[in-house]
Every structure is written in C-alpha cells, then in structure tokens.
Amino acid sequence: MYTGKLKLVRKYLSFLENEYNMTFSFQSFNDFRGFVGPSDCYSFYNDNGCFTVHNLVQKDEWGIYVCDTFCKSQYSLLSQEINLADYDNISGIGFFLKSRWLNYLGKIIKKQIILENSFFGIKV
C-alpha cells in the first residue's frame, strides 16, 4: 500500500464514514485479471452495500465498483463497475490526476446523497 494514495482516498471520501456512518476497509491483493502487481481496494460499506475504489498500483489505473456486501474477495468486490460518465459530464484537462478525480468523485457522491439519499444504488 502506498500511503499517499490512502491519504488521498481518505481526504476526498472520508465523509462517507464521518457523516453517513459507513465503515472503511483497505485490502491489497497480488494480482488482478492477469495483471501481476499490487491491486488495492479502498472500500466503504454499510448494511445496504459496498462501494470500492480500486487501484492497479503499478499502472496507476483507477476504477469504482459496487457490490451487495463487503467481503475479502476482490472479484466479488469488483463485480459491478461504475462508469462516472453515466452520472455526470466529465470535463477539464487533467481530470484523471488522482486528486482531481477523487475530488470529482466525492462531489458526485455528495450530490447523489442529497438528491436520492443513496449513491450508486447504496442507501445511506
């Protein structure tokens, strides 16, 4: 685990713990779908579902996923990928810099919670 990435995830998404009583868990796996190298999962969950930010460390590729419940199987955690473009327009140069991307993700989640009392199908 790279503490800089953990700090960024916590900086932009810890409101899920602090304001909505979700539990946070970090897990690191050795490989993912044929990619050998650290595969880190940052999960926020409650009784209604699990939201995971996934990072292939060496490639620095990120993705977001939801599933019904938190577990220790990365393939279950990453069973349903979320495409942010389905939720808001993605724009701006440098969007995929970690800090901008995670900040943007946090804003989308907050907006969904305000409007629907849930985000990506997970009730809070």
pLDDT at 95: 44
Q: Are 44 and 64 in contact (CB under 8 A)?
A: no
pLDDT at 3: 72
User: pLDDT tens digits for the chain (124 residues)?
Assistant: 567 789 999 999 999 999 999 999 999 998 777 777 789 999 999 999 999 999 888 887 888 999 999 999 999 999 999 987 777 655 443 445 556 788 889 999 999 999 999 999 999 9
108: enclosing H helix or E strand: helix 98-116
DSSP result, 37-71? EEEEEEEEEETTEEEEEEEETTTTEEEEEEESS--
Q: Are 91 and 84 in contact (CB under 8 A)?
A: no
pLDDT digits (tens, 9 = 90+) for 9-41: 999 999 999 999 999 999 999 877 777 778 999
